[in-house]
Structure 1
Amino acid sequence: MRVYRGTFVNPLNDRRYIDFLRDHIVGVQDGTIAFVEPASRLGEMATIHGFNPESDVSVFMGNQFFIPGMIDTHIHAPQYAFTGTATSCPLMEWLEKFTYPTESRFSDLGFAEQVYSKLISRLLKNGCTTGLYYATIHNESSLALARCALRAGQRAFIGKVAMDRNAPDHYRQATATAIEETERFILDARQLNSGLTHPLVEPVVTPRFIPTCTSDLMSGLAALAAKHHCLIQTHAVESIDEVAFVKSLHDAEARHEDDACHCSGGETGCLCERDIMILDKLGLLKPGTVLAHAVHLKEEEAALIKERGAAISHCPLSNYFFSQGVLPLRRCLDWGVTVGLGTDVAGGYAPSLLTAIRETVVSSRTLENRELQEGRVGGPRLRSELRVTWREALWLATMGGAQSLMLANRLGSFAPGKLFDAVLVDPQAPGSPFDVFIDAP
């Protein structure tokens, strides 16, 4: 057993609260937390658990503290190669001119491993110990991403991207091929965990988004996810142009099939032509589904996401550039939707969940200020309706991510029975970007 003594920043089950466990001890046996206790019980714990209270205890005092490893629920790993490029473009143009050409280069394993190893190293340095990744359509380079994560010790949920329409001919696959290759990737990726007590790599079924995936492809991938018990990731109601594109595709298919809409959308309009209803119809909306962005979500759609047990990855930084809107995060949380945070590299230029935490708070205030300015909210009591606090944002980056990935019983906080997945923060480390003031108010 190994015991760690210090301060632990511990998210509670209630997202509004963070517990600061000052001078506590955490006992770890084979990677799993055995106990979390005040340091005053060190001798007692040593007797109970049979460890040496001197040689088996690592002490981290002063201004150092532990936080749970942060969980990034939306990363486009190959896009790290052009992070911060052309953020002035609309989403669909950005994909066509920059994303697809760059991602197609990942058929080159040497190039792929260079980019992936640098990205994972940077994410770990920024406190991300678990990542939900989109790779590319290439099986071998997607497996290279998995091997890079294994070497670095990062927990990685990795999706081989599936697309069969509205992408360059050289960067899409036939429907049957995309399904077959996805299944092969699932089997090969799981083989990489051989010999590990706690598997680190898990394949994820990944239809990129509705504009690039036919209904046949998406329903086939849904069947694969059910067969192999995989998580699912995709994008949903991400931007104004994406929503319009999906509507045009739906309208064309409905005319072709002579399929009249019988949706009871009411005042919100037809929901059948929008991402959430389409994904649900095709079997892709379920526990373990992570929907990136969801900025232009309607309340009825949020209710369906909650009912199905799916989650949203909130990507505040990239939303500024490509989504033409701000996710009403406070309302999503109040509606009971599960939410995690994502950096969305490279739509988000910063591969850091600390940045995502900050921007989560800022974007909530931006939305609140806009509604105040437009006269939709009034009175001192109501002004906090749309705000998200830093405590909640940190919770989303830890416990929220764990819930999104169906890992809340294993990750996200310090509790007996969970894995000791932790980041040690030392504000006074050499070269630290922080200044520490002793006895400051």
Structure 2
Amino acid sequence: MMRNQIKILKGNIAFTPVFGQLEILANSFIVIEGRTVKGAFTGELPAKYHGITVTDYGEALIIPGFVDLHAHAPQFVNRGLGLDDELLPWLEKYTFPEEAKFSDPAYAEQVYQQFVTELWKWGTTRSVLFGTIHKEATTRLMELLAAAGLGGYVGKVNMDRNAPASLRETTEQSLADTEEFIQQTQGRYELVKPIITPRFAPSCTPGLMTGLAALARKYNTPVQSHLAENTDEVALVKALHPECRNYAGVYDSFGLFGQQPTIMAHCVYNDASEIGLMAQNNVYVAHCPYSNNNLASGIAPVRNLINRQVPVGLASDIAGGHEIFIARVAAMAVQVSKLKWLETAKREPFFTIPEAFYLATKGGGSFFGKVGSFEPGYEFDALIIDDSPPGRPGIRQYSVEERLNRFIYLGDDASIAARYVAGKKIEQPKFSADNG
């Protein structure tokens, strides 16, 4: 044990080591060595830690940092626009015109600085992000995320069909730019890595998807895309790929469905065979309840996915989803699960708060490895929640669990007193031109 690498925090600790199982250690200590948790202790600290300075957060909650498994960083500025439309028209009217602006590095810089600052502000310690087709802008997004001390995967988007001319690449250029992007960024940062990002099957030709799968294998790079979000989208994929049994089968046929660690966003309309393939290949689902509501996509059968052993985490899906705060996404996940409960004649149970909290932390965090919990050996990503600042009612009337529930539904950024990522306390980002 190297004592100079030890941090000890004290407060009311809450985390979910198992789906639905909330563990609370009131007025307790958590010990971190370097990046990882050594243990959590109630009562007295073990003698070997005596003499090490304790950061005492008093009555504050200490919870794992939030994980956003799917967001579109360039869409940050068009949140709240066109959300009275469906997915495909919304892409054409709002999203594609906005993303075309990222050919301008100065514009990308301005937006991405704001976006990364918002991730920090709202306690998202790890995220999985779509950039745009633009290599330079997407590389800068990675630099800014790393400079802020946050963890994540960032993807240069690929599109060589069914896209406006301003965003449509040639297959060859898309693959060349993607490979160069990976080569330039793969080992550059400790906590931020590249991810292969075909936008979705309709926007990628078979040649492009084959080439992207080859790059994923060559560089041992994970994959992210969209799956079965909208009924019109599902019909379009069927028309484009009649040779495949279903939508998941399209990705799988090209080697983009769990052959490397894979995240698929939405997954509202998958059949039983697709869900079985997702479980078999350990394909993660990024559950996007706000986006699914806003774009009239539907209610994802998340309980069924989990019961079938499909890994699930939560996602903002900025800007189909307008809410960046993963605590509120967790609350919405509970709410829409109640509608699914009614839709299934009360056969598919709705989520509890501890279940949604797990999805917001360890559920998504597991894509990064040992992230999202305070079990020994886990990287220490944490939020310090001071839910009783001056001028607000006292907290002593509520239990720790009740306070966590209230934070999920009522909390805001002012309640987040401190943020830690991989054992390091991170302050509000201050960017400069040479952050990379």
Q: TM-score range by the shorter chain?
A: 0.7 to 0.9
Between the aligned partners of 2:177 and 2:151, the Cα distance in structure 1 is: 23
Query: Where in structure 2 are the equivalents of 1:239-258 lying within 5 Å?
Result: 239-251=230-242
- Please give the secondary structure, in 2, of the residue aligned with 1:439: coil
Tell me the residue number matched to 2:167.
Answer: 171
**What's the CA shift for 1:34?**
2.4
Matched, 1:358 2:318: no
Q: How does 1:377-416 map to 2 (within 5 A)?
A: 377=346, 382=347, 385-403=348-366, 405=367, 407-409=368-370, 411-416=371-376
Match of 2:106 among 103, 110, 117: 110
Q: Paired residue for 2:416?
A: none
- Once residues 440 and 295 of structure 1 are traced to their aligned partners in structure 2, the CA distance between those partners, rounded to angstroms, is 37
Q: Please state how far the C-alpha of 1:15 moved relative to its aligned partner.
A: 0.1
| 1:323, distance to aligned residue in structure 2 (A) | 4.6
2:90 is the counterpart of 1:86: no
Matches of 1:350 and 1:103 in 2, distance apart? 19
What displacement does 1:246 show?
A: 0.8
Does the CA contact (< 8 Å) of 2:38 and 2:376 recur in 1?
yes
Identity %: 34
CA contact (8 A) 1:329 1:386 kept: no
Are 1:222 and 2:222 an aligned pair?
no
8 Å Cα contact 1:10/1:21 also seen in 2: no
Q: Are the counterparts in 1 of residues 187 and 193 from structure 2 also a CA contact under 8 Å?
A: no
Name which of 320, 333, 348 aligns with 1:347.
Answer: 320
Letter in 1 for 2:254: L
Tell me how far apart the structure 2 counterparts of residues 95 and 422 of structure 1 sit (CA, whole Å): 35
Cross-structure match for 2:54: 57
Matched, 1:140 2:136: yes
2:10 touches 2:57 (CA, 8 Å); kept in 1? yes
1:389-436, Cα deviation, whole Å (9 max, x unpaired)? 111111011111022x2x332x110122221111111102358xx744
Cα 1:91–1:176 shift into 2, 3 Å: same
**TM-score with structure 2 length normalisation?**
0.87
Give the match's secondary structure for 1:41: coil
- 1:46 Cα deviation from its structure 2 partner: 1.7
d(CA) in 2 for partners of 1:61, 1:46 = 19
User: Are 1:6 and 1:25, in contact at CA under 8 Å, matched by a contact in 2?
Assistant: yes
What does 1:71-220 align with in structure 2 at a 5 Å threshold? 71-193=67-189, 199-220=190-211
Match of 1:46?
49
Counterpart Cα distance in 1 of 2:212 and 2:390 = 48
Shift of 1:191: 4.6
| Alignment-derived partner of residue 302 in structure 1 | 275
Confirm or deny: 8 A CA contact 2:257 2:283 kept in the other structure. Answer: yes
Tell me, yes or no, if the aligned pair for 2:75 and 2:95 is still in contact at 8 Å: yes
The separation in 1 between residues aligned to 2:352 and 2:369, in whole angstroms, is 21
- Partners of 1:413 and 1:290 lie apart in 2 by 20
Query: Contact 2:387 / 2:395 at 8 angstroms: preserved in 1?
Result: no
Distance in 1 between residues matched to 2:85 and 2:323, nearest whole Å: 18
Give me the TM-score of the superposition, normalised by structure 1: 0.86
Match in the other structure for 1:18: 22
Gap regions ≥5 residues in structure 1:
194-198, 252-260, 262-271
User: In the alignment, residue 270 of structure 2 is paired with which amino acid?
Assistant: L
Q: Aligned-pair distance for 1:291?
A: 0.3
1:418 and 2:354 are equivalent in the alignment: no
CA 1:30–1:313 in structure 2 vs 1: closer, same or farther (change >3 Å)?
Answer: same
Return closer, same or farther for 1:43/1:440 CA change in 2, 3 Å cut-off: closer
Q: Is the CA contact 2:126–2:365 (under 8 Å) kept in the aligned structure 1? A: no
Distance in 1, matches of 2:306 and 2:36, equals 30
Which of 31, 37, 45 is the equivalent residue of 2:35? 31
Counterpart Cα distance in 1 of 2:261 and 2:80: 30
Distance 2:393 2:331 in 1: 18
Count of residues in correspondence between the two structures: 393
Among 327, 330, 333, the residue aligned to 2:306: 333
1:419 to 1:164, Cα distance in 2 relative to 1, 3 A: same
Which structure: larger Rg?
Answer: 1
- Taking the aligned partners of 2:395 and 2:15, their CA distance within structure 1 comes to 23
TM-fit CA distance, 1:386: 2.8
Cross-structure match for 1:196 = none
The change in CA–CA distance for 1:220 and 1:440 in structure 2 (over 3 A counts) is closer
CA contact (8 A) 1:240 1:323 kept: no
Which residue number in structure 2 is paired with residue 258 of structure 1? Answer: none
Corresponding residue for 2:403?
A: none
Report whether the alignment pairs 1:439 with 2:408. no
Residue identity opposite 1:19 in structure 2: E
Q: Check the 8 A contact 1:7/1:23 in 2, yes or no.
A: yes
| Structure 2: segments with no counterpart, 5+ residues | 1-5, 400-436
Q: Structure 1 369/109 Cα, relative in aligned 2: closer, same or farther at 3 Å?
A: same
